[in-house]
Each structure stands twice: as structure tokens, then as C-alpha cells.
Amino acid sequence: MQIPLVLVGDYVALNPKTALFERPRQDYEEIVRFLGGELCCTNHHHTPFFSFVRRIDKRLKIDLLAAFLASQHISRYNSVLSTSEKLAIPLAMLSYFKRVPVPHVVIAHKLSSGLKTSLFRTWPLHHQFHHIISVCRPQAEYAVTRLGFTKEQVDFIYDKVDHLFFCPQNKPVDDYILAVGMEQRDYPTLTQALEDTDIRVVILAKSPWSSHQVRTETAANVTYVTKRLSYLELRDLYARARMVVIPLNNVDYAAGVNSVLEAMAMAKPLVVTQTAGIDDYLRADETGLFAAPHDSTHLREQILGLWHNQQQQQRLAANARQMVEEQMNLDIYVQNIVRITQGATAVFHKKRTAPNQLPIS
């Protein structure tokens, strides 16, 4: 019997010794459970050629190994869900000449990058993607207007956070601002915004998901956390922060969304750079505050105004937590992914079996 395949990169595999209460639930684990499918490929860290292939993957910014392993037995599955373009593109390359009649659903994060634009123009591999799921509205619109997908083939859904793990903690709050993440972060503007204040800033510029290089600037009131933290340590850092600031470069994809949702789930007052990619995740002066991109003066005004207004902090924090519970949590995300994947699979196989219908490549 054919089953769905959920494709993730090997490097995202969690330490098997980590207890469930020590980490958030992972989306791909939940998706596989609800789809009744198979997970590929989180158990190949120690294969002989893994380190060699990973070096290639890092240079090319793809997940070739996982795609290769999936392509070897792709006919066993009735659908494939790729959790990123890094997986979907090499799988499309490897299966291009096989013409295997299996629908390919892709959770797309940054379709509009220059490299992908050039690739798709030269070799339209995206024509092998049968359905696009995007956690960023501008990227979903890009798939329709620039890549030729129909509106029926593209869905925008909110990204997720495990709100059962990242939740308010009964811990004393310290007087510091927390900034988290690497992807498209604008830490120089944050440092400049608070350079002549006595407000402490803790910056955790670490991420297993991003290869983006961040610019850092030293200041007396800024501390950079350089070690890799456990999920429990990260949650504690959120819990003890008085507020969270996510300064971003002005990009059209959802850079910073993980940190934004974690802060919201932790019921932390939040200031975020307003970008097209993150705009859907915050309601201005309701669940957080927006600051203009690369504007240290405006960022300073937003931070200081919130820093000295405890009533506003409490209101924004409570509203942010409520929005996560109602719209932006892992359970809702998984339900949406499963629903869309099953629907796209049913449409694909219905078209293939319809009279006088040619197979879709």
C-alpha cells in the first residue's frame, strides 16, 4: 500500500537522548503522525559519505542527501511533502527524467531569491511542484504571479510555534531586552538605537536553520551569547527577558518568524521591524509594535516607549499569547499541512485517472 513521504533534511534530526519535555514538538514528527506516512531522512548522520555530502549541501545550500535517498524509492509513495525548497529542488532534479507520477507538495519559504529565480528561468524545475504552501503571503503571491502557479495550487498559512513548550513561565523577570536569531537580522541598528542608554541587550545570534552571516557591533550594554543553547536554556532566556526585539533587514520572506512566534507564545512584549515578510504575524499596537526598517531613531522610540509603559507591556503580551493560541500554533499548522497535502494528493490522482487525461509530469 502506498503512503505519503515527508521529506526533511538529516541535519534537523534531534538528539535521541533529549526527552520530550526538554524540547518543543517538531512539525515533521506531528505531520507524519497525522498523515500516517513515512519520514525521510533523519537517521543518516553516520553514514560513511554523510560528512562529504553535507559539505556539498552547505556550499550549494541544498539538502542533496535527503533528496537522493527519497528519490531511490519514490514510487513507493502516493505523495511527497518537502518541508523546504532546499529539499524540493534537488528532488525535482533527481526525479526529472524518471517522470514518476507522484504529487509533490512543497512548503516554500523563499522562492524569490536570485539564485532560485535564475535556476527556474534556465531549468523550470518548479513545474514539478504540484502544490505550494507558503508561510509568507508575498511569497505565495510570487508563486502565482511570477512562477505560473494557479491560485488553487498555492496556499498561505501561518507558521507555527509549539505553544505548549514555549509558554509563560513563573520566573522573575530581569531588566534586559532579548534579541534572537541570525536570518536577515539587523543588529547594528538595534545597537545604535540603544547605544547611549543603560538598557541591557542580550543577543543570541545562533540558529541551526540559517547560514546567514550577521553583522555585529560591540557596545557596553550589549552581550552576545555565542554558545549553542538547549531548548530549555532558550526558553529560560525568553522567560527572564523584560521584552523581545527582533530587528530585521527589509526582505519579502518571513525572516524572523520563529523568534517572533516564540516571543509571542512566551507572552513577551515585542518590537519587530516591519517587513513585507513578517507583516501578517503582528497587529500593530495590539500584539506588538512595528519599527521602520533600518531606522535606529524609530526603533529607539518604540523600544523606550514600551520599556517605560508596564500597562502596555502587559496588554501586548496577553494579546500576543492569545493570537498564538487561536491562530499561530503547531497544532493548527499541522492540521493545515495535512489537509492541504491530502487535498492536493486527491486532486492529482483524480486527474490521472480521469478519462482521456494525460499523466501529469
In terms of Cβ atoms closer than 10 Å to its own Cβ (0-12, 13-18, 19+), residue 22 is middle
Please give the span between the terminal C-alpha atoms of the chain, in angstroms, as a whole number: 22
Cite the residue boundaries of each domain of the chain with CATH code 3.40.50.2000. Answer: 176-326
Instruction: Report the percentage of the chain scoring pLDDT > 70.
Output: 87
- The per-residue pLDDT for range 135-176, each reduced to its tens digit, is 999 999 999 999 999 999 999 999 999 999 999 999 999 999
- CA 319 to each of CA 159, 259, 309, 330, 332: distance values in angstroms, whole numbers, following the listed order: 18, 17, 16, 18, 18
Between CA 188 and CA 196 the distance in angstroms is: 14
At residue 360 the predicted structure's pLDDT band, cuts being 50, 70 and 90, is: very low
- CA 66 to each of CA 39, 48, 259: distance values in angstroms, whole numbers, following the listed order: 10, 14, 26
Output the CATH code of domain 3-160+329-353. Answer: 3.40.50
DSSP characters over 236-264: HHHHH-SEEEE-B---SS-TTHHHHHHHH
Between CA 158 and CA 282 the distance in angstroms is: 11
At residue 361 the predicted structure's pLDDT band, cuts being 50, 70 and 90, is: very low
Between CA 291 and CA 275 the distance in angstroms is: 9
- The per-residue pLDDT for range 216-266, each reduced to its tens digit, is 677 889 999 988 899 999 999 999 999 999 999 999 999 999 999 999 999
Mean pLDDT value of segment 125-138: 96
At residue 46 the predicted structure's pLDDT band, cuts being 50, 70 and 90, is: low
DSSP characters over 73-111: TGGGEEEEEESSHHHHHHHHHHHTTTT----EEEEES-T
DSSP characters over 156-204: E------TTTS-----PPPSEEEEE--TTB-HHHHHHHTTTS--EEEEE
Question: What does the chain come to in residues?
Answer: 361
| Radius of gyration in angstroms for the set of CA atoms belonging to the chain, rounded to a whole number | 21
* Mean per-residue pLDDT over the chain, rounded: 89
Give the global pTM.
0.91
Q: Percent helix, strand, coil in the chain (nearest 5)?
A: 45, 15, 40
Residue 104 has pLDDT above 90, yes or no: yes
Any idea which residue has 518590537 for its cell? 271
Grid coordinates representing 275 are: 517587513
CATH number belonging to the domain at 176-326, selected among 3.40.50.2000, 2.60.40.1930, 3.40.50.300, 3.90.1010.10: 3.40.50.2000
Residue of 42 and 163 predicted with greater confidence: 163
Grid coordinates representing 174 are: 530581569
Mean pLDDT value of segment 130-138: 97
- Maximal CA-CA distance, the chain: 73
Mean pLDDT value of segment 287-315: 98
Helix 257-265 with 231-240: angle, nearest 10 deg: 60
What type of residue sits at position 21? F
Residue 58 has pLDDT above 80, yes or no: no
Residue of 197 and 54 predicted with greater confidence: 197
- The residue among 258, 262, 312 whose CA lies nearest residue 288 is 312
